[in-house]
Each structure stands twice: as structure tokens, then as C-alpha cells.
Amino acid sequence: MSFLIFLIQILVVIISLLIPVAYFTLAERKILGAIQRRRGPNVIGVYGLLQPLSDGFKLLVKETILPSNSNKYLFIASPMITFFLSLMSWVIIPYNEYSFLAEMNIGIIYLFAISSLSIYGIIMAGWSSNSKYAFLGALRSTSQMVSYEVSIGFVLLTIVVSVGSYDLSSIINSQKEIWNLFTFFPLFILFFISALAETNRHPFDLPEAEAELVSGYNVEYGAMGFALFSLGEYANMLTMSALCSILFFGGWLPPLNILGFICGSAWFGIKICFFVFLYVLARAILPRYRYDQLMDLGWKHFLPLSVCYLVLTSTLMISFNCLPF
């Protein structure tokens, strides 16, 4: 019976993630349309609300074409790996104080491990396609994700040192008096920009540079293969938005202990929507970086700054004898 309840919980988490991911695509197109003074999707359903369902059904019924001389097993498995890894990140995300699928005292390490594994789906997709464009896009994406994971890791370590726990709920509860946004504002800027690069989003969407690599590592994919890559990418953006909320905006906690009558899950959803809007806004207003500028930013600026901030935080806490462990 407990196993059946656990399966139902997993199904609820998957459905509650897939529906926001589907409508994230609609929200992105609507916001971009408003910024560019056009309507966006408005034909399928009222105000275009059925457009994501229409797009999903179209990709579902399309024929899957396997490139000649490709490694067919890896070609089919790669988008599945990317998609399932993006879902696994949400296992430990706490929606409020009592609502989560699994509670881990090493939640930060778990998220970092899942993020590292997602590289394999991309590199396998580029290699198994037997296309030089797909392979170059996969190499770009892999090097970009590895580069910015280092900076993200040091940012997470700084938060862990200040809180004294890898548990996401403990990190949220430590912000009851003041959010980490105010105490670690430079780290928030570093983390959010690194999250844009980690998820291959504009202005760092260089693995999918249409002018150079046609479409990057997924150039040979269509139908459900392309849909799974797209769902995985948008799910990763929601994961990064949730992580920004947890680390710097107090998760489910209300701002400055006001409006506490609104439930924690609602606050958590509002904060995620705020970061989703920032993702779309960055795509609308920022020019794309060159690849050498992207790598220089990660290794020559973000990495030294994140290391220095970790050392500074540790030194101050040791000096004032306020280490939490």
C-alpha cells in the first residue's frame, strides 16, 4: 500500500511539472510577443491557451526519423536520459514546510550530481547523431555546462557554510529573519547568470546558434525526441528558478514576514514565476555572446569571484566564531 502511495506521489509530481513546462512555452511566446509588439499564439483555444497541447500532440503523432549510420540505441536513449534527469531534480524540491516527495539532508549534493549527469544525455545525442553539426553543438554545450557548474558549486558551498547544512529546508528556515538576497546579493547575481549559461539559455544559447550550427546537438531530432529535449530544457529552467527562490528568496517564506496569510506553496510559485519572467526577459532584450566571451566570463571572472566570496565568508565566520557547525 505504501508503495502504491509513493507511485501516486511520483505521478502527481510529474504531472504538476509537465503542465507548467508546457505552459511555460506559451508564456514565453506571449511575453516575447508583447515585448516585440505582436500578439503571439492566439488561434488555438481562447487567447491561445490550447497551443501547448496542440504542439505536444503534433510532435507525438509525427514520424520519428533515425539518421543513417547513427547509433540508433543511443540516439533514442539520449533525449529520454535528459528528460528523466530533469524530472529527478524535483524529487527533493520542497513546495512548503510539509510538502515534498523525499527529504534528504544532502539535497544540495543531490541536485549538483543530477546537474552533472545531464551532460551525458547531450554529449550522447551529439555523438550518436553521426553529424558534425550535432557533435560540435554537443561539445559546446558540454564545455559550457562544465565551466559554469564550477562557479555554481562555489556559490552553493558559500550558502552551505553560512547555514551549516546541505538540506534545502534548513536553508529556507535560516532565512526567516532576512533573505539571503540581502546578505549575499553579489552571489545571487553570479548564480542567476551562471544558471542562464547552465541551461543554455539566451544570451548564452551558443550550443544552438542557428547561424553557425543549424540547431546544435538536437539538429537531427524531430517528433518526440525533440519534444523530450525541449521538455528537459524547460524543466531545468524551472529547477534553476526554484533553486534561486530557495537559496536567495526564502523559498516558501513570505517577504519580510508580511502577508503571511498566503500559503507557502503560493509564495513559492510566485517566486518561480518571477524568475521565469527574468529568463524570458533576458531572451528578449540581450544580445548573444561570442563563445570566447562566454568562456572568459566563466573562468576569468565568475570562478575567481565565487572562490573569493567563499573564502571571505568562511574567514569572517571563523573570525567572529559564528560557524553554524
SS3 per-residue string spanning 109-159: HHHHHHHHHHHHHHHHHHHHCCCHHHHHHHHHHHHHHHHHHHHHHHHHHHH
Cα–Cα dist 130/232, whole Å: 22
Kindly state the greatest CA–CA separation across the chain: 65
Residue 195, CA atoms < 13 Å, CB-side half-sphere: 26
Q: Are 49 and 297 in contact (CB under 8 A)?
A: no
Position 92 scores a pLDDT of 83
Position 209 scores a pLDDT of 62
The grid cell for 12 is: 502527481
Q: Give the helix ranges, DSSP H, for the chain.
A: 2-35, 51-61, 72-88, 107-128, 132-163, 168-173, 180-183, 185-198, 210-213, 223-248, 264-285, 291-296, 303-319
Which residues is 98 bridged to in the sheet?
none
Residuewise pLDDT in 10s, the chain (325 residues): 666 776 777 777 777 778 888 888 888 888 888 888 888 888 887 888 888 888 888 888 888 888 888 888 888 888 888 888 888 888 888 877 766 677 778 888 888 888 888 888 888 888 888 888 888 888 888 888 888 888 898 999 999 888 888 888 888 888 888 888 888 899 999 999 999 888 888 888 776 666 565 677 888 887 888 888 888 888 888 888 989 998 998 888 877 666 655 666 778 888 888 998 898 888 888 888 888 888 888 888 899 999 999 898 888 888 877 766 6
Position 207 scores a pLDDT of 65
Position 206 scores a pLDDT of 72
Cα–Cα dist 260/265, whole Å: 12
Residue 93, CA atoms < 13 Å, CB-side half-sphere: 31
| Beta carbons within 8 Å of 103's beta carbon, 6+ residues apart | 92, 94, 167, 169
